[in-house]
A and B are shown apart, each in its own frame.
Chain A
Amino acid sequence: MIGIRLNEVPMRIEEGATLRRLRDRLHPEADLLIVNGFPVAEDRRLEPDDSVVMIQRGVIPTADQLETLMMARHTPGVHARVSRGRVGIAGAGGLGSGVAVALARVGVGQLVIADFDVVEPSNLNRQQYFIDQIGMPKVEALRDNLRRINPYVEIEVFDGRIDAQNILEVFDGVDVMVEAFDAPDQKAMLAAAHLRQSPRCPLVAASGLAGHLASNAIRTHRIRDNFYIVGDLESAAEPGRGLMAPRVGIAANHQANAVLRLLLGEKPE
């Protein structure tokens, strides 16, 4: 017997087994066979530690199959905790759409996303939308895009403005809250309202990510336990220093990683 991985899952097969025979026995419907990262057309003998992926083109994996793949990638313990997570995202612009995509890819169980805006052409320089979504409410466009990445993430959306009166209701029961607004007064309002009303729920905010300054100036700062700010804390979006995909993406992924670490019980910074 030799050990291989089939669709990310370790298994043992008899020595001398070939790719086609394994396909015919376990996944006869598969029409694309990948061995160690490369598509393979001809039959071949499988070697110890080969990583084999069998795909039926055009067929969406079931929730169970995707779960198996994610568990193998992320390890079962990590996957279990992440998939139980419920995360609030206030704002679906460059930060919020980036955070949402990263968290959907990593398999966070529930996302609650709020924004009042529609997709505008100028958003496409950094936000996770497509040109055919111009004019759509951002929360709807983002929900569509997230479903194309991982249809098994539960997504709640709120198409409207968040304020100190509705924040608790909209983001009911979240484990971690992400501040992803654009305007500085909205950022401060959200942070103050959240810290006052949900002091036990960690907040990951962002400030200072405009322009094309150095990547490494963007950091995850701990302000208090349960209050983190991502950014360089200085560079505001202003005429002559616009928001651009690379730095906004860096900040969004700092935020997403802080959320992931918090869900896993680790310190973000």
Chain B
Amino acid sequence: MKLEINGETRNVEQGTTIVQLLDLLKLQPDRVVVELNRRVLNVAEQGKTLLREGDNLEIIRFVGGG
């Protein structure tokens, strides 16, 4: 199925969860903010939310330092 991730179209398998997608993108779930169709998710939701055709994702990664 097709998703839009940070403005780019990408194909992933049906039944992929957000955590699985993050793993695919080599991103750590606790270091990103995920917006699914403009709604910001909490970490618990990332694990159980199944992606659907046409979903729009914005994934914002944080690196350490302050």
Contact = CB atoms under 8 A, between A and B. Distances in A.
Interface of A: 91, 93-96, 164, 180-185, 187-189, 191-193, 195-196, 205-210, 223-224, 229, 231, 233-238, 243, 248
Given A184-B31, A192-B33, A229 B64 contact: no
A180 B60 CA distance: 16
Interface of B: 28, 30-33, 40-43, 58, 60-66
Best-surrounded residue of B33, B41, B43, B65 (most CB of chain A within 10 A) = B65
Nearest to B66: A182
B66 A188 contact: no
B40 A207 contact: no
A189 B62 CA distance: 10
Given A185-B30, A185-B31, A192 B40 contact: yes
Question: Helix, strand, loop or mixed for chain A's interface?
Answer: mixed
B62 A188 contact: yes
Given A184-B64, A195-B40, 12 more contacts: A184-B28, A184-B31, A188-B33, A189-B30, A192-B40, A192-B43, A207-B61, A209-B66, A224-B58, A234-B63, A237-B63, A243-B66
A231 to B, nearest CB: 8
A181 B60 contact: no
Contacts of B30: 185, 188-189
Contact of A196 (B40, B62, B64, B66): B40
B35 to A, nearest CB: 8
Contact of B60 (A94, A164, A185, A191): A191
Contact of A209 (B28, B41, B61, B65): B65
Given A185-B31, A188-B33, A236 B60 contact: no
Given A184-B31, A192-B40, A195-B33, A91 B60 contact: no
A237 B33 CA distance: 19
Given A192-B42, A195-B40, A237 B32 contact: no
Contact of B65 (A192, A195, A196, A236): A236
Contacts of B65: 182, 206-210, 235-237, 243, 248
